[in-house]
Structure 1
Amino acid sequence: MQNDPRSIGVFDSGLGGLTVLSAIRRKFPNESLFYLGDTARLPYGTKSPETVLKYALACAKALMKQAELKLLVIACNTATAHAFSALQDELEIPVVGVIESGVSETLSHVHLDSIAILATAGTIRSKAYERELKKQNFEGRIYPLACPLFVSLAEEGLTEGPIAQAISKHYLRQLPYLPDAVILGCTHYPLLLPTLKASLPHKTIWIDSGHATAHHLKFSPCLHQRGEARYFVTDAPERFQKVASQFLGQSIPIPDLISVD
């Protein structure tokens, strides 16, 4: 097996991509990871496709200035929907998004007749999940549902309690039927999973697209070292450090503040 000590880059609009980073670290503990949260410009889900593409290209280039990368993970569904193809064309390293893996993981469960997609308004408007589901031959019912306030709840650390419960119920009661599976089509949303699960039947299958992406990654591994993670943000590093440490269950250093313009 070939040894490749280069790092893996991961970027998101903010904290949500930490769900992907955490899954990658568990599966590949020897890999060095560079994480960028574009906290100055979140949320991406309310932005135009052109703006998201511009931001994603800037984030990718900023990460590649920080380290020699062997792989870039777009840990943001909205950025995957609007910038995946462009980043593949622009960069000389492999680029992985979260949508294809999320759909593949969903369809690994047999006998699904209905799937709900919870995502940002931008991801829902792109219809990227519907296209990928049809590409992978799903013929059942699909119900996309924009849940924009979930990002704010996650970024503020309000993932449980009465506020999160009320907003969760507000969105999920809009589903016209009880789906067999729910795709969490934003990497922020798994942070609210305990609250979300309380609003639907226990038999509902929940798919974390970020976790699925980590599970499906393929690359030449680093064989001879214990991997470390470095963190970068575009605004409010102290706030990111506080909330990220709560989410990860361990203290992380205050991230480096960088510009991606």
Structure 2
Amino acid sequence: MREKQIKSNKPIGIFDSGFGGLTVMSAISKLLPKENLIYFGDSAHVPYGSKSKKVVTNFTVNISKFLESKGVKLIVVACNTASAFSLNTLKKVINVPMIGVIEAGSVVALQNTKNKKIGVIGTEGTVKSNAYAKEIKKHDRKINCFSKACPLFVPLVEEGWNKGKITEEIINVYLKELVNKKIDTLILGCTHYPLLKGSIQKVIGKKIKIIDSATAIAMAVKNLLKKNNQLKNFGSGKYEFYVSDDPEKFKNLGSKFFDKKINKVIKVEL
């Protein structure tokens, strides 16, 4: 029993290129409030969406090794671009289980679509990788996937422009093409996008189901830990935050993405 408690008390590691993955951490903390969580934001190299696969993979290997050194029981790749570019490599070189947002979001989208037309929005890197379509078609070849890069969504969120006329006009310009394709399901393929969820739903209408990858991966984490007999069922969760640059900016801006106040952020040289 003591060995099981030690095993389950190990933290969950979560990383992203910057702030966006805090929406994933927030979803996990709400679903699994007893779990200890360690977050790494690669603020020195944000954004990943415009970088090459080789460069992103190098960054993520170093981050994953850092989290592994912290004794985590699971690593969540909370960045869509990193999930698309490097998850397969990470699973080969890291000795703890790893899970990415693309797998989780795809499964939930498949469960929700009725007409087999799924839209995916994300960064340029995620969309170019075609990772969601590949993952979805592994399960159902008959699904039609329509993808759209929405590069202005990230700065909108980081400037706090989550709603309002201008935001809705920008959303409409990007998404009218997908709406015209008669999609019935839309995957938010970037961890910033959940903060625009209300405005996106208003623009595209209530008939289209929005898949929030943060909520989807939180459930996937719970299921995986349960399967591995590693769920922590005692005490309350403790949170640690690490970044590769500018901890003060991360602490201030991070509160927009994470529901709880961030008191301490540690800069780490990888």
Does TM-score exceed 0.5, indicating one fold?
Answer: yes
Structure 1 unaligned segments of length 5 or more: list them. Answer: none
1:56-205 equivalence runs, <5 A: 56-65=60-69, 67-175=70-178, 176-205=180-209
Could you tell me how far 1:95 is from its partner in structure 2?
0.5
1:251 matches 2:255: no
TM-score of the superposition, structure 2-length normalised?
0.90
Structure 1: distance between partners of 2:10 and 2:268:
21
Q: Which of the pair is proportionally richer in helix? A: 2
RMSD of the TM alignment (CA)? 1.6
In structure 1, give the amino acid aligned to 2:110. Answer: L
Structure 2: distance between partners of 1:112 and 1:259:
48
In structure 1, give the amino acid aligned to 2:46. Answer: L
1:215-226 equivalence runs, <5 A: 215-217=219-221, 218-219=224-225, 220-226=230-236
Could you tell me how far 1:110 is from its partner in structure 2?
4.9
Structure 1: distance between partners of 2:253 and 2:165:
19
Could you tell me how far 1:247 is from its partner in structure 2?
3.2
In structure 1, give the amino acid aligned to 2:26. Answer: S
Equivalence for 1:24: 28
1:210-249 equivalence runs, <5 A: 210-217=214-221, 218-219=224-225, 220-249=230-259
Q: Is the 8 A contact 2:113 2:185 kept in 1?
A: no
Could you tell me how far 1:170 is from its partner in structure 2?
2.1
Structure 2: distance between partners of 1:259 and 1:112:
48
| 1:73 counterpart SS class | strand
Structure 1: distance between partners of 2:141 and 2:112:
12
Could you tell me how far 1:165 is from its partner in structure 2?
2.4
Structure 2: distance between partners of 1:44 and 1:232:
17
In structure 1, give the amino acid aligned to 2:89. Answer: A
The count of residues paired between Structure 1 and Structure 2 equals: 259
Aligned-pair identity in percent equals 38
Structure 1: distance between partners of 2:248 and 2:170:
27
**Structure 1 residues 131 and 60: alpha-carbon distance in aligned structure 2, compared to 1, 3 A threshold:** same
Q: Is the 8 A contact 1:183 1:206 kept in 2?
A: yes
Q: Is the 8 A contact 1:33 1:227 kept in 2?
A: yes
Structure 2: distance between partners of 1:54 and 1:158:
32
Once the two structures are superposed, residues 155-191 of structure 1 have per-residue CA deviations (whole angstroms, 9 ceiling, x without a partner) of: 3333223442232122112334231010011111111
Structure 2 unaligned segments of length 5 or more: list them. Answer: none
Q: Is the 8 A contact 1:14 1:155 kept in 2?
A: no
Structure 1: distance between partners of 2:56 and 2:47:
10
| 2:210 counterpart SS class | strand
Equivalence for 1:40: 44
